[in-house]
Chain A
Amino acid sequence: MSDTDKDKLTDHEYDGIKELDNPLPGWWLATFYITIVFSIVYYAYYELGSGPSLDQELQTKLEKIEEKQNQAEMKQPDPGNVDYSQLLADNEALATGKDIYMQKCAACHGAQNQGVIGPNLTDNYWLNGKGTIADIAHVIVVGVPENGMPPWKGMIKDEDIPKVAAYIKSKVGSSPAGAKAPQGELIEE
């Protein structure tokens, strides 16, 4: 034990343990005071003063996001005017479409699009729309929630949805084994 330590020794002793009477470290005390002052100010501003509540903060942030969504929507071409037929010749697009289909859709529509919970997608019978790529894309986006088809907007990237639709279209007429009985209206092409 150094001499300075000896000077600071208290007369306490417990089972051989002695205690020094060093002062509280200044930086430690300063930290403590700063956190206390910060806390008082913080509480006063948010809970007693004019600080926004969590609900208000959320509202403001949501409004900003909504604005972005609206702007993005305005920039998008009107889907009714786009010709998707070139996608049927785009192997890369079809492959991406197939990937997404296998991950997200096969559980309900079957790995061969033959239909399980959801309808058979390889026949010419359609419950929704007339089976064009744009129509299929539309069902994918909005879903038929009341009948068990989830809406996929936001879950699949906007630019990928036509690719999934094109993949489905490319399989129409493939007549896989065990296909589900037709549902909906027969659409002659």
Chain B
Amino acid sequence: MTASQEKVKVQYDDQIVRMFFHATLFWAFAAFTAGVWIAFELAVWQLNLNTEWLTFGRLRPLHTNAAIFAFAGNAIFAGIYHSSQRLLKTRMFSDMLSKIHFWGWQLIILAAAITLPLGFTQSKEYAELEWPIDIAVTLIWVIFAINFFGTLARRREKHMYVAIWFYIATIVTVAVLYIVNNIALPTSIAHSYPVYAGIQDALVQWWYGHNAVAFFLTTPFLGLMYYYVPKAANRPVYSYRLSIIHFWALIFIYIWAGPHHLLYTALPDWAQTLGMIFSIMLWAPSWGGMINGLLTLRGAWHLLRTDPVIKFMVAALTFYGMATFEGPLLSIKSVSALGHYTDWIVGHVHAGTLGWNGFLIFAMIYYLVPKLWKTELYSKKLATTHFWIGLLGTLLYYISMVVAGITQGGMWRAVNEQGQLVYPDFVETVTRIVPLYYVRGIGGALYLIGFLLLLYNVYKSISMATEKPTDEVAEVINTNVKSEDIGTGHRKLEGMATAFTVLTLIAILVGSVIEIIPTLSLHKYVRNDVQVEPWTPLELAGRDIYVREGCYTCHSQMIRKMPSEVLRYGPASTIEESMYNRPFQWGSKRTGPDLARVGGKYPVTWHYRHMINPREIVKDSIMPNYPWLATEKIDYYALRKKLSIMKYLGVPYDDDTVANADLVAGRQAQEIADGLIEFGAPEEVRNKEIIALISYLQALGQKGGLSEEDKEGGSE
């Protein structure tokens, strides 16, 4: 052992941590501002300034991507680079790779910030970025992985601490999720169709979507929690055994939970039930992390009164516990029936993101500033004020959205003694909750104001530093040597990075394979006697416009298997109805009504006037105006390529239609335009995008896909 007792000097790369730290602050501001803006857009639609780039449908993906990948992402990287070097007693594997990782990531975010408002989107939530950016994300993630695992290989600490386990799970799983969910065939540099269709696409997307929450907003944060909480409180971690059990249980179970986003839909029952039960089993493993964090702080409670860092940490862990209790609750079928598609879900997410992710990041920032810049925190009082304002903002946000969600959900499902909907008019259920949209916006604004206090505090703290920031040098003992006793059981595994990583990969693949593989053979679920027509070329063009405008951020296209839905919208949606749909458009939020069967409900002139100005038809509508659709031209020339790719993916178009896609579309457009002009639309409307969109809206629910029995399940 003597040789290993010798001390070695290590210089940590703190510069890269400071870079990610700055990026976190910069993008936090962007993400929060976008969030507050779109929150108010739902109350006052005119805030989009009547420009296409700022409409809710395009800005919402910008907000979610900025919050997740830019704000949380940069914070995760800052924390991982800072803590891993110290836990592994070595500098990062390669400074060059660190820099490429940093700049590559910022460029990706910039590309997202430009392309999303322009309407380049795959429309899969948190996976909206188009294929060239996806490839860039994958490459940068691989670079991060090489850098991290290289560091792990060079570690001077035999055993890996629990934080490192969570980082490993994050890096491995995000890679798998991101690649599988984004497999698509390009039709141009800025557009693609996913290889999955209908229920496959829905399942893969929500397997991804839910695990973006799990492996981007949970596991890395638990890792950060396991480093910064004991450090800040100077207390030992409460239970090593609990760390082991809840780590493995969490990553194994989480990956199955995705289908809880699809309860009562056309997804086969078995997959829905798996999603529900694994969500319920997830409750204890999630709380394992909260308990271990809070009990670590046991004995440091006096700091709660004086130290803003501890305040933020305790609140973060409490919100984590709250959100991970509410999650399983919302996954119970009957609760989902009420909460799904409503603002309750939005509130639930923000308890997690504002309360857990945001507050833990703020704690980390206040903890790191003095360390990274060798200075003092400028004002504890200001940080405490930030805490209270942020807490008030989060609570206002959460409570207003839960109340809005339960109110609206209750109105949607209310059926009276005569067997009729009590609130048949959808917009009635919207006007009821608009006041709560203001409250939510105010909550968000408070959160943003709190963050501005942090910015000022950080700025003042850094300007108080007397010397230039440097890289910390530490003297460490190398314990990663052959002679070291490696231990037995799990302890032994903690010394074996490769084996640990492989086991992690297996743990997350089990649930993924069991859920996804069966639905890949879609034909097994499709009934032979039910006919479905593919979209006509013009309807497909309209569908792509629907995707581009982000209509799915407000409208679902999935009538759930619930009586109130059948009364309101018609027979429940079937698997066959979406079998040619790439990407699927089931949506996750009904700010407006479901559109799965809107085709034929109104005449074309209704849609024309409604799209130009919804309030002309429905006085209290909060849907934005889309006047530019009547001035932008349909891209007929792209259609041949689009149809040929659809055909390649198995959609039954005949060769003639593919070869003449533009002409076929042109003819259909002319018919619709004639009808509109007859009722007073201007002649210029010909060949404009609004025609394609209307053709799509009028085709919704009109393409077959229902058996005779299905139709009887209808409202008539």
Contact = CB atoms under 8 A, between A and B. Distances in A.
Contacts of B421: 154
Nearest to B415: A65
Summarize A's interface: helix, strand, loop or mixed.
helix
B269 A53 contact: yes
Contact of A18 (B236, B280, B285): B236
B562 to A, nearest CB: 7
Nearest to B562: A58
Nearest to B619: A103
Interface stretch (A23-31, A90-98, A119-127, A128-136): A23-31
Contact of A58 (B418, B561, B715): B561
A86 interface: no
A65 B283 CA distance: 36
Interface string B595-608: 00000111101100
A72 B605 CA distance: 36
Interface stretch (A7-15, A77-85, A166-174, A181-189): A7-15
Nearest to A61: B563
Contacts, number: 162
Nearest to B710: A55
B488 to A, nearest CB: 14
B713 interface: yes
B161 A17 contact: yes
A95 to B, nearest CB: 17
B637 interface: no
Contacts of B245: 24
Given A17-B230, A22-B239, A107-B609, A62 B713 contact: yes
A49 to B, nearest CB: 12
Interface residues of A, number: 59
A43 B514 CA distance: 15
A65 B562 contact: no
A20 B424 contact: no
Contact of A150 (B273, B602, B680): B602
Interface in A16-51: 16-25, 28-29, 31-32, 35-36, 38-40, 42-43, 46-47
* Most B Cβ at <10 Å: residue of A62, A67, A148: A62
A69 B274 contact: no
Given A28-B287, A31-B283, A69 B420 contact: yes
A43 to B, nearest CB: 6
Interface in B592-627: 600-603, 605-606, 609, 616-619
A155 B245 CA distance: 54
A3 interface: no
A160 to B, nearest CB: 11
A150 B415 CA distance: 22
B192 to A, nearest CB: 33
A1 B284 contact: no
A36 to B, nearest CB: 6
B602 A38 contact: no
B214 interface: no
A25 B242 CA distance: 9
Interface in B364-421: 415, 417-421
Given A2-B299, A20-B240, A117-B603, A55 B291 contact: no
A1 B285 contact: no
A72 B281 contact: no
B715 to A, nearest CB: 8
A108 interface: yes
B238 A20 contact: yes
B86 interface: yes
A134 to B, nearest CB: 20
A58 B236 contact: no
B264 interface: yes
Contacts of B601: 150
B420 A57 contact: no
A51 to B, nearest CB: 9
A81 to B, nearest CB: 20
A54 B572 CA distance: 11
B157 interface: yes
Contacts of A68: 417-419
Interface of A: 1-2, 5, 9-10, 12, 14-25, 28-29, 31-32, 35-36, 38-40, 42-43, 46-47, 53-55, 57-59, 61-62, 65-69, 72, 102-104, 107-108, 116-117, 145, 148, 150, 154-156, 158
14 contacts: A5-B236, A15-B87, A17-B161, A17-B230, A18-B236, A19-B240, A21-B240, A66-B419, A68-B417, A69-B420, A148-B603, A150-B601, A154-B420, A158-B418
Given A14-B161, A17-B237, A20-B240, 18 more contacts: A14-B159, A19-B236, A20-B239, A24-B241, A32-B249, A42-B273, A42-B276, A46-B269, A58-B572, A62-B563, A62-B713, A65-B415, A68-B418, A107-B606, A117-B603, A117-B679, A150-B602, A155-B425
